Structure 1
Amino acid sequence: MVNRIARLPLAVLFLTLLLLSGADARPRVHHADKPHPQPDNPDGPFLADFPPGDPRIPSSHARDFSAGRVRFDGEKLVRLTLRPHDDAEELRDLRDGLVFYLESALALDVWGVHRTDEGGFAVDFRCSDEQLRTVADTLGVEADKRVEMEVVNPDIQEAIDRENVRLLKAHVEKVKGMAKKPGKKPPPANPSNPSAWFKEYHPYPEILSFFSNLAAEHPSLATFTPSIGKTYEGRDIAAITISAVPAEARDALKVKQIWWQGMIHAREWISGATVQFLAHKLLTAHADESDPDHTWAVKVLNESEFTIIPTVNPDGYEYTWSRDRMWRKNRRPVTGSSAYGVDLNRNYPDGWGTGGASKNPYSEAYQGPSPLSEPEVKVLTSYFLSHMKRAVLAIDFHSYSQLVLRPLGYSSYPAPHDAKLKAVGDAARDAIRATSGKKYVSEREIDLYAASGTAEDWFYSVDVGKKTTEDRGGNGRVYGFTIELRPSANEGGWGGDGFILPPESIIPVGEEIWAAMKAVVPKVLDDPLVNK
């Protein structure tokens, strides 16, 4: 049967595999301004009845973690490359079918999708030796010259072990420093010493302390809100608001608003560090007249207000420190299965369930049983709608692949403001290239891969625009973007570690994204989106 399937054309192959698995063959496509039908049986039939520990379930998804930290010894990062094709639409269909097959039918951990320099597509995923053989045999990789398989990293655990050793050394140094002064408490997260803070990643309590201290150092500019709501496990989701305009005058002066958020996916540590860097730079550049960006920061903060969510997914992030470094989702148990977690960036209501997400609760892209089913997404959307009344820009930071993605992710129809969205995305790309030489790609999300229920599309949606653009009579939209940070999947030197980006990259990534924001923010302030 396997050999017979392997000889099928790829388009027919993916259709056959997906039909056999009970999944839809490809994402459903809808117009951006039309209602989206919701699928039946949102939990899906795929793996819900498999017992914990079943070898078909990725080890990081079962409930029983009594053995301690999850390890990935011998698990590989594999890249499947679809070579360029004369029919661009068929190539995109193959790409979507491959991603959906890996994520939903096999519940494998897809790390990313990216374009190749030759014009094809590549899909990176994590798997064991047994799973690798299954994929290779089923897809007939060796016989089909249109597909190439490469092991990018033969042992993911090695990168995790290196990181753990580094973090342990940092902790030991901190403890030694305390031992020299008995009774002394741990040093606070000190925004006044950025070279020390940004030389390492930090657990969630330290991040909260950093932002609290940052606001305290700039009381005329920043307000730290320790909790805008709770996660499933009861942790606070914090926010910081930054503007030079007094809070009581912002409504009357119609101050425009910008939103940045990070770490919606728990394992993407660099996204949170980048948001920390941006907030710190915005405040310190305003305060320091000798800073080259002082004039820019003063002008921008006199005209606008920034709301920053440092960590969207605190439960998942803390879990990456304590148990499973590769954890992506939140930590809510999935009713009726042994699975944990929903992909929060597939749980937003705009376009939810229309393709580019999974109904399989064991999938890393599990969309949840319904839109807004997750407490974290409810908190974020509620706060956005209540706080943002003159919103012009919202960015969701991720890693990895070096991308600036614009709406839409769930529809092949161009967004009504696609030309303006493209101009802003291209400006970010060009500023990064001019600053660091790094190549980011600016494109529509759907042109790279299908994704539904995302923050980016929700920010841009008609309904959000009606409620958050009072300065435009409720007839505006919000520039919505996803920015995928380093490393690049195409550039050498990153070692195939993917999400395990060394801390030496925190400041360089922050600096290139700061340059991007300097290019993007004036454009959106000068030309906010208005519906025709």
Structure 2
Amino acid sequence: MRRRHVLATLVAAGAAVALVIGPQMPSAVADSTQLFVYRVPATSEAAAQRLLDHGFDVLENRSGTDLFVLGDEATAARLRGAGFRPAVSEKLQPTTWKAPSTRLVPDAAAPVVAPVDETYYGGYHTVRAQHAHLDQVAANRPDLATVVDYGDSYLKTRNPATGYDLKAICLTRKLSGDCSLTPSAPKPRFLLMTQIHAREIVTGDIAWRFIDHLVNGYGSNAQVTALLDSTEVWVVPIVNPDGVDLVQQGGNRPYLQRKNLNGAAGCANPPTSSNQVGVDLNRNTANHWGTSGVSSSRCAQTYPGTSADSEPETKAINNLFRRLYADQRGPNDSDAAPATTRGAMISLHSYAGMNLFPWGWSTRDSANDAALRRIAAQMSQYNGYQYGQPGEILYNASGTSDDWSYGELGIASFTTELASCGSFTPAYSCTTTDWNKNLPALMYVAGKAKAPYQP
């Protein structure tokens, strides 16, 4: 039976936080360097929203009626003061990998490795490496790959010496008109976007593997060859490069930056568990902006910005979508995208183990709910995750990228929350687990791009 409110369905055991230490609370003397995951009963949508209103770092994870909050020892007292009953679910273990030096670190020495080989936290690729990888793929396989610079990050709009270009790669067997920035292109398009939330570091390396899987498999893997012969696959490995650059500087005490680095709010930088600069790019779009799943606190993780589409990263990715996809849906929430609609997208996140689809701002069915639900159910057959609207299995969230791409353009849009071994910074070997689970789902949705709303 489908749940119409936020709390009626249990999250699968594998998606819940794995390491439970019991009800013991941290000591009375707060340690701001030790982070915990707190299990917090939230028995209504109003309770979930109240957690966000108070500026708590509510993780994209749920177990039954409980949500999970990331924070230090002082967070437990703040939760109790707000009327909640937190229990320690996990004590985060220290990270021992050394962060790389990059150009956003004042006076840092130049990296001693080639940019494409630069990694942090045991194997995760830096922003420099991700961008170098795109260029390398395009140089080696010009018949299959085209790199597009689709905009500038927040920091680059302020100072070109410290920010980043925003880059995407188009993969297809290139014929006339392919990979052009026009919605009238001959082939249907699938787009994968990752690391819109900077701290969700596994997602960027899944994008890296997906690119290599397609390019290296063309001509030898029948499924890959058929896909690239018929479809354009677009990959944006890092939507939020400024934020990722900060994450990769965290060293032994990770900087769990979620947002971009719009410092206008005057919040903490480097970030703490409850205070960080920036705007949540996955709450910043104009689709029901600021109505649910957000915090008005400028330093909170889900701060949606001063207005819809306020951030350069949001404007840029939305403009890329508009140049890739025709507007195939009417302006009203109740309008359906027609059966002839082409196009699909997935936004990768971590670490709840879920396949989500619009609407996120409400548990109201979209006019294409049956088809979106059918695709998400098949994705779950591949990766073993729960599926549903955010408000059905997690909590409502407005201004998200998939609500915008479906609402504005009508394309079949999904968010996949990787399980990521129950951590934002798991051992790099965890990427193999997520990759093996999710490759079939990625290939399936990419193959649906030609007619996603048809059986």
TM-score of Structure 1 vs Structure 2, range by shorter chain: 0.7 to 0.9
Distance 1:336 1:163 in 2: 29
Give the superposition deviation at 1:185. Answer: 6.6
TM-score, normalised by the number of residues in structure 2: 0.77
Is 1:211–2:134 an aligned residue pair? yes
Q: Secondary structure at the match of 2:264?
A: coil
Give the superposition deviation at 1:525. Answer: 2.5
Give the superposition deviation at 1:108. Answer: 1.9
Cα gap change, 1:246/1:365 in structure 2, threshold over 3 Å: closer, same or farther? same
Name the amino acid aligned to 1:450: N
Which residue in the other structure is 1:387 paired with? 324
Q: Alignment RMSD, CA only? A: 3.0
Which residue in the other structure is 1:97 paired with? 46
Cα gap change, 1:205/1:344 in structure 2, threshold over 3 Å: closer, same or farther? same
Contact in 1 for aligned 2:348/2:415 (Cα 8 Å): yes
Q: Which moved more, 1:323-332 or 1:446-455?
A: 323-332
Distance 1:212 1:199 in 2: 23
Contact in 1 for aligned 2:190/2:449 (Cα 8 Å): no
Cα gap change, 1:336/1:219 in structure 2, threshold over 3 Å: closer, same or farther? closer
Alignment partner for residue 415 of structure 2, among 459, 482, 485?
Answer: 482
Contiguous gaps of at least 5 residues in structure 1: 1-25, 28-58, 60-70, 83-90, 142-148, 172-183, 433-438, 466-476, 488-493
TM-score, normalised by the number of residues in structure 1: 0.67
Distance 2:289 2:38 in 1: 29
Distance 2:287 2:237 in 1: 23
Name the amino acid aligned to 1:502: A
Alignment partner for residue 443 of structure 1, among 388, 396, 417?
Answer: 388
Give the superposition deviation at 1:387. Answer: 2.9
Give the superposition deviation at 1:101. Answer: 2.2
Which residue in the other structure is 2:287 paired with? 350
Contact in 2 for aligned 1:190/1:213 (Cα 8 Å): no
Distance 2:121 2:373 in 1: 31
Which residue in the other structure is 2:154 paired with? 232
Distance 2:176 2:283 in 1: 33
Distance 2:123 2:371 in 1: 37
Which residue in the other structure is 1:332 paired with? 262
Count of equivalent residues = 384
Q: What are the Cα deviations for residues 269-316 of structure 1, in whole angstroms up to 9, with x where unaligned?
A: 0111111111111111114x2xxxx11111111111011111000000
Alignment partner for residue 237 of structure 2, among 310, 320, 333?
Answer: 310
Contact in 2 for aligned 1:189/1:197 (Cα 8 Å): no
Distance 1:428 1:337 in 2: 39
Contact in 2 for aligned 1:431/1:519 (Cα 8 Å): no
Which residue in the other structure is 1:162 paired with? 96
Distance 2:154 2:89 in 1: 35
Which residue in the other structure is 2:333 paired with? none
Is 1:77–2:37 an aligned residue pair? yes
Distance 2:267 2:443 in 1: 46
Which residue in the other structure is 2:427 paired with? 502
Alignment partner for residue 455 of structure 1, among 368, 388, 401?
Answer: 401
Q: What are the Cα deviations for residues 362-387 of structure 1, in whole angstroms up to 9, with x where unaligned?
A: 11000101001001101111121123
Q: What are the Cα deviations for residues 317-339 of structure 1, in whole angstroms up to 9, with x where unaligned?
A: 00112255211100012357776
Distance 1:485 1:260 in 2: 14
Which residue in the other structure is 1:153 paired with? 90
State the percentage of identical aligned residues. Answer: 23
Alignment partner for residue 65 of structure 2, among 115, 121, 138?
Answer: 121
Is 1:280–2:217 an aligned residue pair? no
Q: What are the Cα deviations for residues 150-189 of structure 1, in whole angstroms up to 9, with x where unaligned?
A: 31223x3x33x3344xx67xx9xxxxxxxxxxxx973452
Which residue in the other structure is 1:248 paired with? 177
Q: Secondary structure at the match of 2:429?
A: helix
Q: Secondary structure at the match of 2:308?
A: coil
Contact in 2 for aligned 1:258/1:391 (Cα 8 Å): no
* Higher radius of gyration, 1 or 2: 1
Distance 1:257 1:524 in 2: 6
Contiguous gaps of at least 5 residues in structure 2: 7-29, 102-110, 157-163, 269-275, 327-340
Cα gap change, 1:202/1:245 in structure 2, threshold over 3 Å: closer, same or farther? closer
Name the amino acid aligned to 1:357: V
Contact in 1 for aligned 2:177/2:186 (Cα 8 Å): no
Name the amino acid aligned to 1:406: F
Q: Secondary structure at the match of 1:334?
A: helix
Name the amino acid aligned to 2:437: E
Alignment partner for residue 373 of structure 1, among 298, 303, 310?
Answer: 310
